[in-house]
Amino acid sequence: MNRFQGCLQAIIFGTTITMWSAASSAFFGQTQQQPTVGQEMRQPQAKTKEEHEAYLVFYQERDSKKKIDLGNKFLTGFPTSELKPNIILLMIQSALGTGDSRMTIDLGEKFLNDFPQHQSKSFVLQALMMGSQDLNNFAKTVEYGEKLLKADPNNLSAFYTVPFILSERSIAADEEGRKRELCRAAEIALQGLNITRRAQLSDDQWNQYQASLHSSLGLIHLNNKKYPEAQAEYGKAAAVVRNDPILYFRLGLAYSFDKKYEEAIDALSKSVYLKGITEVQAKTELERVYRIKNSVTSTGPELQAAIQKLVDEAGTKLK
């Protein structure tokens, strides 16, 4: 998970958690918002003193692992409790806090099975999407992402995640299926670029979000061999994210495949300078493009010196 995904989770999950806290405060007789005219605000209630006390102990527990244990104990002791949705939701929150993706998925699937139309369905689907991604179950990640977009058509995390997954790897087993995946990824990314900015997002977060979608579109176009379109999308992403070696590597490929060697050398040099997992590939492609552009046949020290000079110059541009 990258920094932007973490910000999105904090914003969206935090909002939902605040809603539960308000509901729980109301349950314990604390201050709550007044219902609007015509709106029924009946809170879930404990049926017995024992149930009330068990919920109080669970709710006040701050240790995430202990909270999950207390939640399971409550669900076993009071299987028909009206508080069951709140219990499971707060257990999911705790599982997210401990990074236990398997537990997050187990709890999330249980919640959707028991409460398929609950108002917190979007929160649970997002938790399931992120948990599946953490476990590298990309088919499930996309499945939950698609369900999340149906439940919450403007969900930023789904707009980010589904195009990212589908642009990076094939889930379908055949070529036609892959074409449909890329088409769907592009459709979702474009929808994500056309939504209104959320007030909770800072300028930096919003720009990072848009850059991530431009990057996904760039890879989709690169996969489809639409090199000018890939160049345009990667260029928009690189204007915001100036320290991503993979981004510059792919931008360089989009230029080199289109025989725009000067631009390719610039992007690939930046990728090599920034190192990362694509450094060797970027340097190999940089050498290839440089030799084509300058009609160089040798691979000796002179070539390496020329390449190093380009990389140093790229570093200066990035500073």
- pLDDT recorded at residue 32: 33
- How sure is the predictor about 13, in pLDDT bands with cuts at 50, 70 and 90? low
Q: List phi, psi (to 5°) of 100.
A: -85, 90
Mean pLDDT of 283-299: 93
- CA-nearest of 84, 76, 72, 75 to 45 is 84
Q: The tokens of 24 are what?
A: 């729980």
For residues 205 and 7, is the Cβ–Cβ distance under 8 A?
Answer: yes
- Decide if pLDDT at 70 tops 60: yes
Residue 20 has pLDDT above 50, yes or no: no
Q: pLDDT tens for residues 205-249?
A: 999 999 999 999 999 999 999 999 999 999 999 999 999 999 999
Global pTM reads 0.85
Higher pLDDT among residues 300 and 156, named by residue: 156
pLDDT at 19: 43
* pLDDT higher at 23 or 178: 178
Cβ atoms of 193 and 213 within 8 Å: the answer is yes
pLDDT: which is higher, 18 or 77? 77
Q: Which two tokens stand for residue 287?
A: 């050498």
Per-residue CA distances from 190 to 12, 210, 216 (Å): 21, 10, 10
Q: Which residue has the tokens 């929150």?
A: 93
Residue 47's contacts (CB-CB under 8 Å, 6 or more residues apart) are 78, 81, 82
Q: Given a cut of 90, is residue 4 above it in pLDDT?
A: no
- Is the pLDDT assigned to residue 22 strictly greater than 80? no
Alpha-carbon distances of 253 from 49, 156, 312, rounded to whole Å: 67, 29, 20
Q: pLDDT digit string (tens) for 79-102?
A: 999 999 999 999 999 999 999 999
Structure tokens at 85: 């949705």
pLDDT tens for residues 242-275?
A: 999 999 999 999 999 999 999 999 999 999 999 9
pLDDT at 9: 54
Q: What value does the CA radius of gyration of the chain take, rounded to a whole number of Å?
A: 25
Q: Which residue has the tokens 């000018």?
A: 228
- Alpha-carbon gap, residue 80 to 119, rounded angstroms: 19
Question: Alpha-carbon distance 169 to 33, whole Å?
Answer: 46
Distance CA 55, CA 85 (A): 12
Residue 17: is its pLDDT beyond 60?
A: no
End-to-end, the C-alpha distance of the chain in Å comes to 26
Residue 311 pLDDT: 97
> Is residue 133 pLDDT above 50, yes or no?
yes
With a CB cutoff of 8 Å and minimum separation 6, the contacts of 73 are 54
Phi first, then psi, for residue 49 (nearest 5°) are: -65, -40
Q: What is the DSSP letter of 41?
A: -
* Residue linked to tokens 């040798």: 298
**pLDDT band (50, 70, 90) for residue 44:** confident
Angstrom distances, CA of residue 6 to CA of 1, 208, 252: 7, 12, 28
* Own/partner pairs, 286-291, CB within 8 angstroms, 24+ separation: 286/252, 286/310, 286/311, 288/256, 289/252, 289/256, 289/261, 289/264, 289/265, 290/265
At residue 235, the 3 state secondary structure works out as helix
Does residue 27 register a pLDDT over 70? no
